[in-house]
Structure 1
Amino acid sequence: MDVLERFNERYPFGEHLGVEITHVEEGYVEGKIELEDHHSLSDTTRLAHGGVAFGLADSLSAAALASVEGNPGPTLDVRIDYMRPATGDIYGKAEVARYGSDTGVVEVELLDEDDRRLGTTRGVYKTNLVEEQNPFVG
């Protein structure tokens, strides 16, 4: 399955959050979220809730794995380190660091429009292909 199509056109949560995949190579994906008022912590500030950055990172990780095996696998564990608040659009670069028969590891760098690091993640994802199909994706 085409990763751009899957994540830009057939991913309801990503659409709700505003995730856009902008670049795909095997094992590597870039994307962004354009910060909108509904992403903010309050109605008096334009400061993204941490879940927005996490949602982008987790979505990009799934897309990076899908670029290797054709389908995203479920998240098993993710560590996120926030380094500065997001007050504008959030950009991400996800790279598969390890791809195994049972699990994969993906690292994501989150950046602002000035290429300042907002945060990083390192996640573990299920890669369990059964007869060339991921049993967790319908």
Structure 2
Amino acid sequence: MTESYDQIHAVLQGYIDENHEFLSWLGATVESVDDGRMTMAIPYDEKLTNTRPSNGDRRPDIHGGVAATLIDTVGGIVFHTDFDDPIDAGAATINLNVNYLRPATGDLEATARIIRAGSSVGVSEIMVESTTPDGETREVATGQGSYRLFRSARD
């Protein structure tokens, strides 16, 4: 790999901000990039919550689809840390499994790690945490994805 993890971080965040309207609308940010690992976040926003009557002392939970989107996204782009040419390569979802553990009541942060990166298929494992209104962090979802890897000619 010729690019540094800082370069990969900057390119991926720039791509989200400039070319991916849905992830940009969600407020998705690339938090960290490392060898075989990546973390992304989406801040809490009431526009992303389930509709239900409020009991006054608890804010609405984030819709599960937001966590699933985060799992799918970081689960695929983590493979950029494995590509010889991380800027010109890519991944597309083959299969995605999401397990919801408890409601998400605050900011979301998902960490993906590569389980296996073959020549054309990769598998990653993802864990999503959410902050609670009182500042605690707890695991709210886990996921596993299989991705078709599109390696560049340099790979």
Tell me what 1:20 maps to: 29
Q: Which residue identity does 2:114 align to in structure 1?
A: V
1:58 to 2:72 alignment: yes
Q: In structure 2, how many angstroms separate the alpha carbons of the residues matched to 1:83 and 1:76?
A: 23
Does 1:81 pair with 2:99? yes
CA 1:15 to 1:43, structure 2 compared with 1: closer, same or farther past 3 Å?
farther
Structure-1 residue corresponding to 2:44: 35
Partner SS, residue 99 of structure 2: strand
- In structure 2, the gaps of 5 or more residues are 55-59
Alignment match of 1:99 (pick from 111, 117, 120) = 117
TM superposition shift of 1:117: 1.1
Letter in 1 for 2:15: R
CA distance, structure 1, for counterparts of residue 81 and residue 121 of structure 2: 15
Structure 1: runs of 5+ lacking an equivalent: 134-138
Instruction: State which drifts further: 84-93 or 62-71.
Output: 62-71
Q: Work out whether 1:6 is the aligned partner of 2:24.
A: no
| Runs of 4+ residues deviating >4 angstroms | none
String of CA shifts for 1:75-94, please: whole Å, max 9, x gaps: 00010000001111111110
TM-score, scaled to structure 2: 0.78
Q: Could you tell me how far 1:107 is from its partner in structure 2? A: 0.3
Report how far residue 44 of structure 1 moved.
Answer: 4.8
Secondary structure of 1:87 counterpart: coil
Amino acid at match of 1:121: G
Instruction: Give the Å deviation of 1:7.
Output: 2.8
- Comparing 103-112 with 44-53, greater Cα deviation is found at 44-53
Q: Give the stretch that moved more between structures: 25-34 or 64-73.
A: 64-73
**Which protein shows a greater Rg?**
2
Give the partner amino acid of 1:119.
A
TM-score scaled by length of structure 1: 0.87
Other-structure match for 1:118: 140
Deviation digits for residues 3-61 of structure 1 (CA, Å, limit 9, x no counterpart): 32233221213212221111101210012110101111127552111110011111111
